[in-house]
Amino acid sequence: MLGIIGGTGLTQLANLVVTRRQIIRTPYGEPSAPLTFGEVGGRPVVFLARHGSGHTIPPHAVNYRANLWALHSEGVCNIVAIATVGGIHADLAPGSIAVPDQIIDYTHSRKTSFHDGVELPVRHIDFTEPYCPNMRRLVQLAARKLGEPVVMGGTYACVQGPRLETAAEINRLERDGATMVGMTGMPEAALARELEISYAALCPVANHAAGRGSSQHGIRYEDVGVVLEGTMQRVRTLIEHVVTMHGD
C-alpha cells in the first residue's frame, strides 16, 4: 500500500475519498495524527499529517519513529513524503517542485533509529541512496504524464529548525553540496529504510533560502504562504497521478 506523508501546507488531501480514520498505538508513542485511509482515483492510500491535523507540531518535535512505525504496521510499503524546502540552487525558485536524490543531516537530539539497543538489536543500514530510485521514477513518470515540470535530483540539507537559517549557514550548506534546505527529511528517510519502506520526497520550494534571490534582505512569511498555496494545488494533482499509477 502507498502512504503519503503531508508536510507544511498539506495537512489533508482534498481529493482523498476517506473510508476510515484510525488512531495507531506504537511502542514509540503517539503518531502526529490518526492515519487516514481512503482512495484516490480508485487506488488505496494512507495519509498522515506529519505536523498534526492542525499543523501544531514543529519539525524538531515530530515523533518520526511513531509515524513510520504506524504506517508500516498498517501495511504501507511505499511512501511519498511532501517536504517543503527553501531553494539554495538557482534552479529552485519559489513555486518549483524538486525530487531530491541525496540528503545531508544537520539535525541533533532527534530519535534517529529503531535499533537503539533497547527495543531491537543494533542494525546498520546501507544509506548510499537515501531515496528509493523506483519511487523517484514513479514521481517523475507521473509528473511527465501530467505535464508538470519537476527538478529531478538535488541534495536536501536537513536542519534542526524551527527557525530559518542565516545567510552564512546557507553559504555553508551550499559549500557542502546542498541544493535545497528543509527541516523534516531526517530521520524520516532513514527510519523508512530501517523498516524496508521504499521512500521518496516531493519537495515544493516555498522561498529562496536566506541570502538568495528575493530573500537577500530577509524572508517574509506572508510571501511564503502565498507561494505555498498555489504550489500545493499542483502538488495535490501530482500526488493524485502518483497514486493512480502506483502498482501499474
In this predicted structure, what is the pLDDT of residue 246?
85
**Confidence grade of residue 42 (pLDDT, cut at 50, 70, 90):** confident
Mean pLDDT of the region 51-67: 94
Taking 70 as the threshold, does the pLDDT of residue 166 lie above it?
A: yes
User: Are the CB atoms for 157 and 176 separated by under 8 Å?
Assistant: yes
50, amino acid identity: R
Structure confidence at residue 229 (pLDDT): 81
Q: Does residue 157 carry a pLDDT above 80?
A: yes
**How far apart, in whole angstroms, are the C-alpha atoms of residue 98 and residue 151?**
4
Distance CA 131, CA 123 (A): 19
What pLDDT is stored for residue 120 in this prediction? Answer: 65
Q: What is the pLDDT of residue 202?
A: 97
Residues 27-41 have a mean pLDDT of 92
pLDDT at 227 over 80: no
Strand ranges in the chain using DSSP code E only, listed in sequence order: 2-6, 17-22, 35-40, 43-49, 78-82, 85-87, 97-99, 102-105, 151-152, 155-158, 180-182, 198-208
Is 60 known as a binding-site position? no
pLDDT at 103 over 70: yes
The CA distance from 170 to 179, in Å, is 10
Type of residue numbered 79: I
Q: What is the pLDDT of residue 150?
A: 97
What does the pLDDT average to over 33-40? 91
Mean pLDDT of 76-90: 96
More confident residue, 122 or 248: 122
What is the pLDDT of the chain when averaged over all its residues? Answer: 91
> What is d(CA 189, CA 7) in angstroms, rounded to the nearest whole number?
14
Going by the DSSP 8-state scheme, the letter that residue 151 receives in this structure is E
Is 90 annotated in some ligand binding site? no
CA–CA separation, 185 and 74 (whole Å):
22
Q: Is the pLDDT of residue 14 over 90?
A: no
Domains and CATH numbers, the chain: 2-245 (3.40.50.1580)
232 is in an annotated binding site: no
Measured N-to-C along each axis, helices 133-146 and 221-245 cross at an angle, to the nearest 10 degrees, of: 100
Would the annotation count 208 as a binding residue?
yes
What mean pLDDT do residues 102-131 have? Answer: 89
Range with the lowest mean pLDDT among 44-48, 63-67, 83-87, 243-247?
Answer: 243-247
SS (H, E, C) 90-129: CCCCCCCEEECCEEEECCCCCCCCCCCCCCCCCCCCCCCC
How would you classify residue 28: left for phi > 0, otherwise alpha for psi between -120 and 50, otherwise beta?
A: alpha
> Average pLDDT of 29-47?
91
Least reliable range by pLDDT among 151-160, 168-177, 208-217? 208-217
Could you tell me the pLDDT band of residue 41, with boundaries at 50, 70 and 90?
confident
pLDDT at 28 over 80: yes
When pLDDT is averaged across residues 73-81 and rounded to a whole number, the result is 97
231 assigned to a ligand binding site: no
pLDDT computed for residue 75 by the predictor: 96
The per-residue DSSP string of 28-46 comes to TB--SS-EEEEEETTEEEE
The region of weakest confidence among 79-88, 164-173, 177-186, 222-231 is 222-231
Does the annotation list 63 as a binding residue? no
